[in-house]
Amino acid sequence: MLKIENLHAYYGKSHVLHGVHFGVSAGEIVSLLGRNGSGRSTTAKAIMGLVDCEGSLLWRGQELLGKKTFEIAHLGLGYVPESRDIFPNLTVEQNLYLGQKSARKAGRWSLDDMYQMFPRLKERQNMLAGVMSGGEQQMLTLCRSLMGDPDLIIIDEPTEGLAPKVVELVAQYLKELKKRGISVLLIEQKLTIAMDISDRCLVMGHGSIVFSGTPDELRKDSYTRKEWLEV
């Protein structure tokens, strides 16, 4: 589905990504791991057309480079940024409806699906999103992206700052995505979650992919974990 080749990205004169190369297949969960500053979030932004880049970003054979972010989203890619970016002065339910691509065409996910996965959102449906806790806002952002019915969803640090019980909910949620045939590119620092739910793990260092393999292969690769992941 997604094929990235020789991807370079820049912030002004700063060269951040150096020839990134990987792919994500249909129904696959791929975790992109690495320390802060390794280029993981920049990779997500590059896919969504949010940074200057060159190389090749193919989505189902169609080049994404040069397209605007809303055009990329309408092709079937969803993005959950680390910053969450909810609409604070709208209610939870209004935020969810804003995620829909079309009010006339039903997608794979309904409002009831969101409330079933995260009952806390059901309890907060008429509350202004800006007064919710960080964990609740993270749930809302995840669900709002799903309401757009993406075929691949890029999720940046979904468990950052969340309580352990909520982290478990997020892990279950990601497994549910796979059951429904949605591909996931997960940017995560918590190795336990990534190892548990991923089909493949990628490790980034200094703007390049330094490891690609299964979770079992990464578990056995003590050098990669020590050199590129452990603090």
Q: For 155-167, how does the pLDDT look when each residue is reduced to its tens digit (9 = 90+)? A: 998 887 777 877 8
Mean pLDDT of the chain: 91
Determine whether domain 2-229 maps to CATH 3.40.50.300.
Answer: yes
Torsion angle (degrees, nearest 10) of CA 5, 217, 205, 49: 40
**Does the structure show a pLDDT above 70 at 106?**
no
Which pLDDT does position 109 carry in this prediction? 80
Residue 63 in tokens:
């080049």
Among 97, 49, 44, residue whose Cα is nearest residue 74: 49
- Share of residues in the chain with pLDDT > 70 (%): 97
Sequence ranges of the domains in the chain: 2-229
3-state helix, strand, coil in the chain (%, to 5): 35, 30, 35
Q: CA Rg, the chain, in Å?
A: 17
Q: Which of 27-41, 96-110, 114-128, 145-159 has the lowest mean pLDDT?
A: 96-110
- Which residue(s) pair with 211 in the sheet? 203
Read off the pLDDT of residues 121-143 as tens digits, 9 standing for 90 and up: 999 999 999 999 887 888 899 89
Among 17, 21, 27, residue whose Cα is nearest residue 5: 21
pTM score, two decimals?
0.90
Mean per-residue pLDDT, 8-36: 95
Which pLDDT does position 217 carry in this prediction? 97
Mean per-residue pLDDT, 27-55: 95
Among 63, 20, 28, residue whose Cα is nearest residue 153: 28
pLDDT band at 66 (very low <50, low <70, confident <90, very high): very high
Q: Please identify which residue in the block is written with the tokens 């409806």.
A: 97
Among 148, 139, 64, 137, residue whose Cα is nearest residue 101: 148
Integer Cα distance of 104 and 111 in angstroms: 14
Among 37, 47, 82, 74, residue whose Cα is nearest residue 206: 37
pLDDT band at 117 (very low <50, low <70, confident <90, very high): confident
Stretch (H or E) spanning 57: strand 52-59
DSSP annotation of 212: E
Which pLDDT does position 131 carry in this prediction? 95
Report yes or no: 218 and 203 within 8 Å, Cβ to Cβ: yes
